[in-house]
């Protein structure tokens, strides 16, 4: 059976306008293609690397910044260097007709300029229904089809290549549906919660629900932590080199964070589990060892490329590069979602969208379990003070400090660190359609503690975490919540 056309939709450079790219991605998906969306601010090298890793047939660039005469030729040259120069490079944006002709002579496929209509076969999935000819074009049918749709109509050599696919957990990847809007004003579809700012009540006159710190009645028994054999060589991801292979204290802290999140996710064999911000795949590997069908997503191409090559050459973990604000999965695809230390790195204006996306891909009754640094902890308090007092900062070990501004042009997830308060977590989860079941804080062992003292420190830590007041001051906050069937919390 002929496999579906695979399209990579990418936003290169500093262009931060992604609505059009997401609408086009949704339209291509609804026309039967498999779509991988890279997210914002991708370099040409990252785009081509993703195209190679995903084995796509079409690379489609969305460029509204005016840099098309630089970016298209650079991506095209890198595609030739990586041996995928036979794949179609297409795209669109603010591209004058004379520039389109120049790029076409270089070997770039058909480009598309601004158009007042949103082309989609499903009006509520992409906006206003476009004309019939445009819909046929996106589906690869009808005369005059160009770009990605033209490749679909041809069904040429690229579509006949042998399959190089991930397992079902990742093979069902699709572009995310953009937020439903009846008009530009932003009316939401009544059946799906829309993004809402943390801290704002869902209904009029409702007070923000407190985030109760309580332990669950039961926790899932986990299999032993995975211990993949990793050689100490060059090119290791930072978290592998300095935490997994690092001192015993750091490895204990890393393992405990994953253990707490996985145990409170209530995993069971056969469940479909999504690991958000999977990094180098340790949590995904552990959940897979628990008998679950897994998919892991992360923005960091370097970590994912390493994990695919070294930990998952067979593709059973389902590791995919994707933006958590635009998950490439269908609605209600997963039974569980887990996330370890990701949410604090998400751009603050995007956090409501991320939580709404998690709710979208979770089945009603599905469980979300996530951890994030606790801003009330002593270490996060010291970090905030260190941002103001350089002398204190020089005395602290290297760490992520809460100093990056909410500037999208300068945003980088690895340098952005703004943990959520308990109130922000509660309000954000409720607005996205979750019921918070409970939370607690843990981890009192500092990462600089000598390994010889780790046993004693762990014993003290266990005692401290049982004290009611100190329970709120641990370094890490853990929250577990249930996806409501109605998409709206009633607490």
Considering only 76-80, 391-395, 482-486, which range has the smallest mean pLDDT? Answer: 391-395
Per-residue pLDDT at 189 exceeds 50 = no
Compute the half-sphere exposure of residue 437: CA atoms within 13 Å on the CB side of its CA: 20
Comparing 152 with 211, the larger pLDDT belongs to: 211
Closest CA to 417 of 425, 426, 427, 406: 406
Please tell me which of 142-151, 162-171, 369-378 the model is most confident about, judged by mean pLDDT.
369-378
Contact, 416 vs 426, CB < 8 A?
A: no
| Cα three-residue angle 325-327-328, rounded to 5 degrees | 150
Give residue 487's pLDDT.
55
Per-residue pLDDT at 123 exceeds 70 = no
Domains of the chain and any CATH numbers: 6-165 (3.40.50.280), 238-483 (3.40.50.150)
Question: pLDDT tens digits for 59-68?
Answer: 999 988 778 8
Closest CA to 192 of 362, 21, 435: 362
Cα end-to-end span (Å), the chain: 49
Give residue 218's pLDDT.
52
The pairing of beta strand 111-112 with beta strand 334-340: unpaired
pTM over 0.75: no
286: confidence class by pLDDT, cuts 50, 70, 90: very high
392: confidence class by pLDDT, cuts 50, 70, 90: confident
Give residue 276's pLDDT.
95
Question: pLDDT tens digits for 341-375?
Answer: 999 999 889 999 999 999 999 999 999 999 999 99
Taking residues 241-252, report their average pLDDT: 93
Give residue 1's pLDDT.
52
The angle, 0 to 180 degrees and rounded to 10, between the axes of the packed helices 248-264 and 454-464 is 30
Give residue 205's pLDDT.
35
- The whole-angstrom separation of Cα 176 and Cα 274 is 15
Buried b (16+ CB within 10 A) or exposed e, 322-339: bbbbbbbbeeebbbbbbb
Within 8 A by CB and 6+ apart from 15, the residues are 40, 62, 63, 64, 65, 67
Comparing 4 with 276, the larger pLDDT belongs to: 276
């Amino acid at each position: 059976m002929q496999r579906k056309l695979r399209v990579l939709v990418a936003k290169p450079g500093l262009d931060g306008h992604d609505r059009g790219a997401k609408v086009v991605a949704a339209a291509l998906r609804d026309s039967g293609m498999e779509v991988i969306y890279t997210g914002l601010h991708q370099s040409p090298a990252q785009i081509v690397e993703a195209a190679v890793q995903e084995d796509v047939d079409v690379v489609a660039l969305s460029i509204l910044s005016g840099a098309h005469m630089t970016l298209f030729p650079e991506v095209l040259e890198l595609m030739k260097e990586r041996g995928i120069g036979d794949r179609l490079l297409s795209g669109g944006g603010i591209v004058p007709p004379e520039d389109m002709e120049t790029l076409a002579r270089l070997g770039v496929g058909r480009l598309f300029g601004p158009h007042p209509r949103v082309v989609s076969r499903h009006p509520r999935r992409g906006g206003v229904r476009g004309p019939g000819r445009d819909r046929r074009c996106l589906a690869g049918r009808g005369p005059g089809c160009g770009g990605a749709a033209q490749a679909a109509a041809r069904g040429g050599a690229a579509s006949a290549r042998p399959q190089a696919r991930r397992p079902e957990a990742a093979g069902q990847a699709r572009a995310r549906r953009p937020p439903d809007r009846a008009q530009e004003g932003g009316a939401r579809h009544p059946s799906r919660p829309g993004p809402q700012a943390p801290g704002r009540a869902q209904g009029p006159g409702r007070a923000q629900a407190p985030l109760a710190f309580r332990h669950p009645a039961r926790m899932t028994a986990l299999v032993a932590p995975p211990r993949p054999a990793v050689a100490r060589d060059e090119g290791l991801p930072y978290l592998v080199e300095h935490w997994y292979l690092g001192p015993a204290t750091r490895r204990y802290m890393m393992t405990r964070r994953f253990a707490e999140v996985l145990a409170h996710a209530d995993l069971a064999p056969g469940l479909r589990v999504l690991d958000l911000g999977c990094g180098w795949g340790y949590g995904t590997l552990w959940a897979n060892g628990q008998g679950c069908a897994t998919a892991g997503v992360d923005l960091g191409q370097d970590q994912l490329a390493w994990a695919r090559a070294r930990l998952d050459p067979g593709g059973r973990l389902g590791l995919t590069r994707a933006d958590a604000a635009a998950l490439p999965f269908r609605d209600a695809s997963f039974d569980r979602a887990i996330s370890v230390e990701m949410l604090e790195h998400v751009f603050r204006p995007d956090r409501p969208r991320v939580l709404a996306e998690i709710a979208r891909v979770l089945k009603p009754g599905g469980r979300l379990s996530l951890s994030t640094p606790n801003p009330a902890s002593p270490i996060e308090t010291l970090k905030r003070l260190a941002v103001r007092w350089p002398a204190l900062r020089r005395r602290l070990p290297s760490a992520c400090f809460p100093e990056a501004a909410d500037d999208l042009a300068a945003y980088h997830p690895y340098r952005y660190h703004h943990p959520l308060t308990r109130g922000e977590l509660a309000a954000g989860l409720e607005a996205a359609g979750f019921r918070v079941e409970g939370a607690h804080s843990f981890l009192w062992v500092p990462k600089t503690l000598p390994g010889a003292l780790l046993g004693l420190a762990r014993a003290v830590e266990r005692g401290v975490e049982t004290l009611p007041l100190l329970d709120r001051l641990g370094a890490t906050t853990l929250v577990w919540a249930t996806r409501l069937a109605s998409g709206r919390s009633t607490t």
